[in-house]
Amino acid sequence: MAFVKRFLYLIVPLSVGLYFVREYFQGCKYTGNERLDDKVVLITGANTGIGKETAKNMALRGARVYMACRNLNKANAARDDLLNITGLPADKIKVMQMDLSSFRSIRNFVTEFHKVEEKLHILINNAGIMFTPFLKTEDGFEMQVGVNHLGHFLLTNLLIDKLKTSAPSRVVTVSSLAHMSGTVEFDNFRGEKGYSRINSYGNSKLMNILFAKELGRRLEGTGVTSYSLHPGGIVTDLQREVLNPFFVKVVHVLGYVFWKTIERGAQTTIYCAVNDNAGKETGLYYRFYSLYTRCLLY
């Protein structure tokens, strides 16, 4: 009996403590009920992770959602899954092919998108890669900078006129706190003067933030607002691509306490995409860092 008491004295406070620690790191869940009926939303990398969760949320709010993805097989499987989960009609979620590592593919995508949609109300630059070995895009740029920043930079600029004619509209760019280790190496976009997987990722995330900030400044008064955000630490396919199986398991165990679920990781993106107060701001960098508080990082 004494052993049971000692065990309970230990395990109960520990369990309660772990619960509140986990809830803190999970961040808050956005509860706004804004509708997006008759709105068009375009999300890159929407076949997995927070992109897929964001696509589900946007579709349930009434938007017509386009999933712009590199791999059509994976994208169509994700679309089928979302349609089954939501019970929405097939025309509410659509898939289009686009490879952010190819300017040609991005331009072709935009040409086709113009043919099927007159409007675009929310562009979510969500897709990303992390810690890849040294590779180059089709256009000769280092892969992480090319996909995470340059591809989205081109896509956004090609869609600016459509966003303006659809105003009020928004551009939401998913960045990361990894920007804190980043610099903008204008003379090394091709990675030929030295390459670090970690540094390049941080560089690309810093470029995301600076782009979103400058975009907000340049589009002020047009009805198009711009946002960047840190979604939080999340266990996603990005880790599976760069870690060996043992470390993936370690990340999952630690992630249960200290990292967000995919659903919670999508909340800052959703806030920036739909919140009415956010619609009055532009060029800022956001994260939800507790149950109750929104933090403006810049």
Active site residue ranges: 201
- The number of CA neighbours under 13 Å toward the Cβ of 106 is 22
What sections of the chain are H helices per DSSP? 2-26, 49-60, 72-86, 103-116, 143-145, 152-165, 197-218, 237-242, 245-258, 262-265, 267-274
With residue 226 as reference, give the H or E element that holds it. strand 224-229
Q: Which residue in the block uniquely carries the two structure tokens 């230990």?
A: 10
Per-residue tokens: 120: 């675009």
What are φ and ψ of residue 70, in 5° steps? -75, -45
Dist. CA 34–CA 26, nearest whole Å: 23
**Are 49 and 259 in contact, with CB atoms under 8 Å apart?**
no
Q: What's the chain's length in residues?
A: 298
- The backbone torsions φ and ψ at residue 78, rounded to the nearest 5 degrees and listed phi first, read -65, -40
Q: At which residue do the structure tokens 């999340």 appear?
A: 234
CA dihedral (124, 225, 148, 46) in degrees, to 10, reads: 0
Identify the CA nearest to 64 among candidates 112, 124, 121, 125.
Answer: 121
Please list, in sequence order, all residues whose beta carbon lies within 8 angstroms of the beta carbon of residue 55, skipping any fewer than 6 positions away: 41, 43, 46, 65, 67, 78, 82, 93
